[in-house]
Amino acid sequence: MRITTALVAPDRDVWTPPSTLLEGEMPLIVCPPEPIWPCGEDLRDLTPAELARSSDVFMQVAEELQFHWRVLKLGTEPVTPTPLLERLKFLCIVSSNLDEYFSKNMYDVSKTMRPLYERISAAVREITAQQETCLTNVILPSLANYDMRILRYADLNARQRSQMSQFFQARLFPLLTPLTLDPTHPFPLLRSYSLYLAVLLEGSQLMPSLERSTRDGDESPIASMSPPNASLDQSIANVLPANMHVAWVRVPSSCSRFITVDNEKHFLPVEEIIIQNLSALFENVRVIAAYPFRVTRNTKLELDKIELSESEDFLKIVEENLYTRQRRAAVRLEVSREMPELLTTLLRDQLNLEPFAVYRSRAPIIGLNDCFMLANVNIPALRYPPWRFKTHSILAGYKYGVQSGHTGHMFELIRHNDLLFSFPIHAFDETTLRFLESAARDPGVRLIKMVLYRCGNNSPVVKLLMEAARRGVDVNVLVELKASFDEDQNVLYARMLQEAGCNVAYGVKGYKTHAKLILVVREENGVLASYSNVATGNYNATTAKIYTDFSLFTSREDICADVTDLFNVFTGYSAKKEFRKLLVSPVNMRDRFLELIQREIDNARSGYPARIICQCNGITEVLITQRLYEASMAGVRVDLIVRGICRVRPGITGISENIRVVSILGRFLLHARVFYFANARDGRPEYYIGSADWRSRNLHARLEAVSPVEDKYLQQTLWRHLNRLLSDSVNGWEMLPDGRYVKGDSEALGHLRDAIMAARREAEAEALKPATQAPVTADDATPGSSETEHLPVVRKAGCVPVRLNRRRGTRRDDIGLRYEVLLITSTSSSFSGNNPDDPRAAEGSGSSVTWVFPKGSMAYGEDGRSAALREALEEAGVSGELGPLISVYQKRKRRTVVMTELYLLHVKQQLSLWGESGQRHRRWFTLDEAANLITKEYLLDALMKARQALGETPATIPTSPTTMTSAATAVESTAKER
């Protein structure tokens, strides 16, 4: 559904789309079209505590489905050119996600929340309908233009059919087991996610009757008994004619779902081959038809709730639960659209499913997650360009160090500098895996400790740990057996590591261990030195190529000591309550995050700029949510980059207008957890990375670790990363107050957000002009005119930072030389071939550098003076005494009016590092020099008025002469203090 910018009606917190697009306006996409679980309350009437706790405002299982809907849009309605096979891959991901969604959630929802179950069922049908329509009408016809096709058996010629018959006899027939359904054959165990065929057969009698002769005394001595499946026999009789029978055939999972036919781009589904050769399984019986179907079961394991005695082996308990997983209740039945209702009814009854649990597929393939192999076909024009990893500059000379025997080089680098690697920019093989190779093969290494959560199939990490143990290194590994849907793989790794000589633990009783930690102890010159790694993602060589994560390597004594203590908790008996630097859940992490948020609230109330940025995968923790609402109400700017579910609702009048929630989805899956707190009072912003989201399960039921990042250079790396995400209009979705998301280009989204907030603040009954009037262009509209009086106003504020010119020989009688003004570069400036500090870059027209004053949008509840001080600190890294208001400028910008207030700022302090130092350059110029560099007229006008305020032409000063004189005096006294 494509829509465009609209305003919120003043009486409801519901966002509604207009009926038409403005000419030349980029369309937006809203997802889902309607809230899956709408809230009937007016959110403005709720307190922060009520908002945070209300299950009507936030219903987690509905929020998860909305995430899958956003993923779907990457395949069905990409806003950027997305190659065909990549679109197909996104459709496959949706199917895989829905499989897990049903397995984890739908059984409980169906039993406890009937209205929600019905709404989710309807939403899933809409998702699958869009998915199937896109596949059938867009993807497959477009792939045919590249001669890539999914064939039907009818498309094959005689030679190809003969080849497929031979393939059936050689590769499929030995693996097939036909299962009939009658009183002597019980209903089979249908495995979750497996593909089956329901076969209708016609014949009066499948086996010849056995004629018994009582004359020979062959009567059975056993009394006649009812067949064990009498009720099943009656059920079949109710739905099938007497001469019809049903059989089931499981499509072998060991065989590829698609078979190539003559061409590596021509594929035939394996079930088509089986269907056309069913007569080999059912000889001398007429096969009427066969229909594919698929079952999903409630395979979620509640391992956290298992009570263990001291003598029980948790590994065996997990193995026993894995064995019973396929016998759990069915939650979904997917059938082909051609399957007759009588077969569907029979299946549904035997699986004990209700009609809402049956999903008819209109696509040519049931179970699109099996189509991943098609999405990986090597057609470069239909795939993303190959990803090229970058070698970290500090590792450039180390790339082949391990192979050449220099195993200590990695430790030398970490000893001198903290290292922060970013995946998939940097290769997992050249970073984390190199570190483990060094640890496994270096003769000085004495001990390795590591947590394994999801490390993938055939993991090189496990192989290196086993190698280290065989070399005599003391290797201790915590293998988390409760990792959802990876339990069987982790059971295998636990046994492999034990057999190799590693000490293996399975976690801490009652908790799931989710921390991403490595500890290496190495002997150096007779002294033991520790090296630790704190990561945001799993130690998985495969997912590191497609997940965005950070990995911090450090030898800082306090962090390494904390990691050592934490491993003692994991593997032994320890009830440690305090850590030096690490935030550890469930010990101190939530409380520390609440303290950090509260500090920003206190700073905002004291007049300091306050800001919080959080990137994580989900936010559900109630107290964190409540505190974020309180921060917004205090004037703290809160940016939440949340890929998945989020309890926080932005844009609620009087509560969360300072909160922005962004979900970014694209080629790579955002997986990092990064936290930023401005801490402006102390002038030392704080950054953290680690394994924990702000979800209840992470902060209460899991063992997690989050580490501060204290190196200033690495902090700049994280700052640039966060700002890139916040400005990503290509992959970013903005959350609306009702929990839905909207997507479009950055300018359109900016207008949308500003329009929503302005409409609520002003409570305008009519936000737009009547459609009968001709649109007014920006050139025609003037501030205060009738064309703009009904438009929402977006207020901005900034400042003109000045100080006395400290250069020697400066003329004191010329204002233009006596004072300096600080200019910053706009974020859109290009620096290729230009250094802003190079005088040639300031010569004027030939420069690609645009010089401006620090300015930006006011936050909700913030006045112009506070906003000007905050923007000066964030964009230019300066603070001081704010003088008078010297300029007000209004400009029509599409559907809003932008009003900018500029104040005179007497600079007293200049920071060497500031919020946007990674995005902008700054430089002091004399007033005369600045007049030749500034190109925007309203900024030139502000500069002229600043000169007047500093005393150049007192007669024309727009405000009190006393105030202006004291302003100039303040600047001079500031210079004397320096």
Q: Give the number of C-alpha atoms closer than 13 A to the C-alpha of residue 395, restricted to the C-beta side.
A: 26
Specify whether 392 is catalytic.
no
Please state, in angstroms and rounded to a whole number, the distance separating the CA atoms of residues 452 and 802: 55
Collapsing DSSP to helix, strand or coil, 908 comes out as: strand
To 10 degrees, the CA torsion angle through 268, 270, 275, 281? 140
Please state, in angstroms and rounded to a whole number, the distance separating the CA atoms of residues 30 and 203: 54
Instruction: Outline where 391-506 has alpha helix (H).
Output: 409-416, 432-441, 460-470, 487-500
Give me the catalytic one of 514, 671, 721, 906: 514
* Cα three-residue angle 558-559-564, rounded to 5 degrees: 100
Residues 6+ apart with CB under 8 A from 264: 377
Answer for the pair 521, 528: CB distance below 8 angstroms, yes or no.
yes
Answer for the pair 648, 637: CB distance below 8 angstroms, yes or no.
no
Please state, in angstroms and rounded to a whole number, the distance separating the CA atoms of residues 74 and 733: 11
- Residue corresponding to tokens 């059984």: 107
Q: Which of 363, 470, 396, 417 is nearest to 130 (CA)?
A: 363
* Cα three-residue angle 881-882-886, rounded to 5 degrees: 145
Q: Residue 208: what are its φ and ψ, rounded to 5°?
A: -60, 145
Q: Residue 274: what are its φ and ψ, rounded to 5°?
A: -65, -45
Instruction: Outline where 641-792 has alpha helix (H).
Output: 696-700, 712-726, 746-762
- DSSP for residue 226: -
Please state, in angstroms and rounded to a whole number, the distance separating the CA atoms of residues 153 and 872: 69
Say whether the peptide bond before residue 364 is cis (omega within 30 degrees of 0): no
Collapsing DSSP to helix, strand or coil, 38 comes out as: coil
Single-letter amino acid code for the residue at 906: H
Answer for the pair 364, 336: CB distance below 8 angstroms, yes or no.
no
Residue 237 to residues 227, 233, 234, 241, 333, Cα–Cα distance (Å): 15, 6, 5, 7, 22
Beta-sheet strands, E only, within 869-929: 878-893, 896-910, 922-926
End-to-end CA distance of the chain: 60
Please state, in angstroms and rounded to a whole number, the distance separating the CA atoms of residues 740 and 117: 19
Q: Which of 288, 263, 383 is nearest to 343 (CA)?
A: 288
Q: Which of 529, 622, 634 is nearest to 859 (CA)?
A: 634
Annotated catalytic sites, by residue? 514
